[in-house]
Amino acid sequence: MIPDIDLICPTCAAPLKLTAGSACCDEGHIFPIENGLPILIDDEKSVFSQSDFQSVSDTFFVQPQTRARTVARKLVGKFLPDILLNLTAKKNYAQLATLLKQRSEPKILIVGCGDRARWMEEFVSHSCFNFVETDVSFGPRVQIICDGHDLPFADETFDAVVTQGVLEHVADSDRVVENIHRVLKKDGMVFADSPFLVPGHFAPYDFRRFTIVGHRRLFRSFTLISEGMSFGPAASLTWTMKEFAIALTPTRNGKAIAGFMVHILFFWIKYFDYILINNRDAFDAASGFYFMGTKSEKTLTDKQIVAFYPRK
Ligand SMILES: [Zn+2]
């Protein structure tokens, strides 16, 4: 179901009206609705095109081609031990939920809800929150297909924006965060979780990684609530071992077995991250960092940002 919020045209920012078969603005820009979802993509500005969604081709996520592969993927996801451990997602989503419960009928935008809202399952189950879930692929949770560079929402719409494992995949992360800032209400909050030392993934949509200082600079127009390591060095190590094993193996089936074996043999390494969670030395090899903050009218200078993280 399409949520009751003010949409704007991703091309010209004029108000956007939804009809049964399309969405259009007063300037004459028309966007299709496919599978019940508005495809609010500007073909000129985005790396994606409306036609990608009209033909239901693979965009960000690669959809399994057969039912057998769909079942196999679900079984692997359920029973294969994970090599990654998000140390702080549960605590951070609980804190965000507590802050949002102080507001009346809060609206929350998820930029990149993914195919299964991983790590945020409990947060999205809050029935007292109004979620707007977006992505650049079809998926079971997606309500609107849109590009984070040109979010199709009116200024100051949301109480919070969540973006997890997304900002490394966008061409211009500064522009995406500027859009997040724009669609947040005056005291709106952002929660972002982004990778540092992790191998490439979702190629070709893989543009960068963030140190904790680089991540803070990205959110320089926000007042800090909390930040820290979300995935530790053990996650960096095991994921790199997996890609090392895959790279050494020549055949496609062999690569699948090599990756599988790293999960089976080395999944336990991730538990070392519990020991390292507050260790500042571990930040230099962390697998990811989170940032939670409130929209600010002021922007930190680079000098202020650097001064906040003294030399070790
Ligand atoms: Zn328009």
Q: What is the pLDDT of residues 227-249, one digit of tens each?
A: 999 999 999 999 999 999 999 99
Task: State residue 62's pLDDT score.
Answer: 67
Does residue 145 contact residue 196 with C-beta atoms inside 8 Å? no
**CB atoms inside a 10 Å sphere around CB 193:** 25
Task: State residue 312's pLDDT score.
Answer: 78
What letter represents residue 90's amino acid? Answer: K
Q: How far is the CA of 31 from the centre of ligand 1 (A)?
A: 9
Q: What whole-number distance in Å separates Cα of residue 136 and Cα of residue 109? A: 14
Q: How far is the CA of 73 from the centre of ligand 1 (A)?
A: 39
Residue at token pair 């997996």: 242
| CB environment 2-11: b (16+ within 10 A), e (fewer) | eeebebbbbb
Does residue 184 contact residue 295 with C-beta atoms inside 8 Å? yes
C-alpha closest to that of 210 among 282, 311, 284, 289: 289
Q: What whole-number distance in Å separates Cα of residue 151 and Cα of residue 145? A: 10
Q: What whole-number distance in Å separates Cα of residue 165 and Cα of residue 193? A: 6
Hey, what are 65's tokens?
A: 């081609």
Q: How far is the CA of 26 from the centre of ligand 1 (A)?
A: 7
Q: How far is the CA of 309 from the centre of ligand 1 (A)?
A: 43
Q: What whole-number distance in Å separates Cα of residue 44 and Cα of residue 147? A: 12
Task: State residue 151's pLDDT score.
Answer: 98
Q: How far is the CA of 255 from the centre of ligand 1 (A)?
A: 46
Q: How far is the CA of 25 from the centre of ligand 1 (A)?
A: 5
Q: What whole-number distance in Å separates Cα of residue 270 and Cα of residue 234? A: 5
| Range in 56-65, 67-76, 116-125, 294-303 the model is least confident about | 56-65
Which domains, from first to last, does the chain contain? Answer: 67-308 (3.40.50.150)
Task: State residue 57's pLDDT score.
Answer: 65
Residues sharing a CB contact under 8 Å with residue 48, sequence separation 6 or more, in sequence order: 41, 59, 136, 147
Q: How far is the CA of 112 from the centre of ligand 1 (A)?
A: 23
Q: What whole-number distance in Å separates Cα of residue 49 and Cα of residue 54? A: 9
Q: How far is the CA of 150 from the centre of ligand 1 (A)?
A: 12
What letter represents residue 248's amino acid? Answer: L
C-alpha closest to that of 24 among 47, 7, 45, 36: 7
Q: How far is the CA of 30 from the centre of ligand 1 (A)?
A: 8
> Mean pLDDT, the chain, as a whole number?
92
Q: How far is the CA of 178 from the centre of ligand 1 (A)?
A: 20
User: Residue 160 above 80 pLDDT?
Assistant: yes
Q: How far is the CA of 13 from the centre of ligand 1 (A)?
A: 6
DSSP 10: T
Task: State residue 60's pLDDT score.
Answer: 64
* Alpha-carbon distance values, 210 to 18, 93, 194, 214 (Å): 37, 21, 7, 5
Q: How far is the CA of 245 from the centre of ligand 1 (A)?
A: 48
C-alpha closest to that of 204 among 64, 76, 73, 58: 58
Task: State residue 31's pLDDT score.
Answer: 96
Q: How far is the CA of 183 from the centre of ligand 1 (A)?
A: 17
Residue 105's DSSP bridge partners are none
Share of the chain above pLDDT 70, in %: 95
Q: How far is the CA of 140 from the centre of ligand 1 (A)?
A: 28
Q: How far is the CA of 4 from the centre of ligand 1 (A)?
A: 19
Task: State residue 65's pLDDT score.
Answer: 65
